[in-house]
Amino acid sequence: MKLDPYLVFNGAAEEVLSHYCNALGWEHTEIKRYKDSPMEHDLSQANWVIHCELTHKGKTQAMVCDGPIEGSSNQIQLSLNFDSLDPMEKAFNKLSEGGKITRPLQKEFWNATFGQLIDKFGIHWMMNYNHES
């Protein structure tokens, strides 16, 4: 079994895809749009993303779409665990642009560098790099 987060945005999915690909070095699959589907939608939603996957090294990391957002929740945070410190620092800095750093990157008691942020789209991120013992 595998769990894939599905991130829903209210008309900003294409911007999100671009931002996450740039910040994290990820890629995305073909963008499927409402206008290309049989689903009913408002004319203003024709270019909205109906489905797209963010991938890294050929593996899906998250799925992204546009849809009406009725209320929101910050109960879920996306956690990225890195193999080295430099890529984590770069990703943290890029993802925090226009957002809010809630816990700066810093060395923690569990022998890791860790930080948290809320990106400009309201998504909560945790980033961790475990140092060698």
The total of structural domains in the chain comes to 2
Same domain flag for 87 and 126:
yes
- The predicted pLDDT at position 72 comes to 60
- Tell me the pLDDT of the chain (133 aa) as tens digits: 677 898 999 899 999 999 999 999 999 999 999 999 888 889 999 999 999 999 999 999 999 999 876 666 666 889 999 999 999 999 999 999 999 999 999 999 999 999 999 999 999 999 999 998 6
Phi–psi pair at 74, nearest 5 degrees: -110, 30
Same domain flag for 20 and 41:
yes
- The predicted pLDDT at position 39 comes to 82
Decide: residue 38, CB within 10 A, 0-12 exposed, 13-18 middle, 19+ buried.
Answer: exposed
Specify if 1 maps to a domain: no
Same domain flag for 89 and 109:
yes
Same domain flag for 55 and 92:
no
CATH assignment at residue 91: 3.10.180.10
Specify if 71 maps to a domain: no
- The predicted pLDDT at position 38 comes to 86
- The predicted pLDDT at position 101 comes to 98
Specify if 72 maps to a domain: no
Same domain flag for 31 and 60:
yes
Specify if 55 maps to a domain: yes
- The predicted pLDDT at position 75 comes to 66
Specify if 73 maps to a domain: no
- The predicted pLDDT at position 73 comes to 62
Same domain flag for 82 and 123:
yes
Specify if 93 maps to a domain: yes
Domain assignment of residue 44, given as a range? 6-66
Euclidean distance between CA atoms 33 and 41, whole angstroms: 11
- The predicted pLDDT at position 33 comes to 95
- The predicted pLDDT at position 114 comes to 95
- The predicted pLDDT at position 76 comes to 80
